[in-house]
Amino acid sequence: MKNFSDVIIIGGGASGMMAAIAASDGTKTVQIMEHMDRLGKKILLTGNGRCNLTNHVLSKECYGSETADFAMQVIRDFDEKAVIRFFQEAGILIHERNGYVYPNTDQASTINDVLRLELLKHHVRS
């Protein structure tokens, strides 16, 4: 018999990894489907390799989109304070520079490693 998952996340980038962590409440099996050879590979390129986690200026004008209202709705549900809290609770020390928030190491690999560890902790399959 095949192993089926209750939730399947398509894409193992930062958003997919966060979605899988959020979906893994202990009652469902969660799996990430990713075509790259490693989850979170593109994270390593963000912020010139430093990975800015968030910033303190999050307004509708920051989004060049006809659906900027949708982006703001999502941000209100998981704002920069929630992002910072998530990473601090996962053990990341942070620092701020010009309104941008980075891991204290200034290394995107720190964020990738922590997200991958969180996936393991939550028993997310990939």
Same-domain pairing of 56 and 102: yes
Of 97, 74, 71, 94, whose CA–CA distance to 84 is shortest? 94
- Cα 36 from chain centroid? 17
Q: What is the average pLDDT score of the chain?
A: 90
CA distance 20 to 31: 7
The enclosing domain of 35 has a CATH number of 3.50.50.60
pLDDT per position as a tens digit, 6-56:
999 999 999 999 999 999 988 899 999 999 899 999 899 888 889 999 988
How confident is residue 1, by pLDDT bands cut at 50, 70 and 90? very low
Residue 58 shares a structural domain with residue 102: yes
Banded pLDDT at 2 (limits 50, 70, 90): low
Q: Note down the domain range covering 7.
A: 1-44+107-126
Sign of the CA dihedral running 54, 59, 62, 64: positive
Region 56-83 average pLDDT: 83
The whole-model pTM stands at 0.86
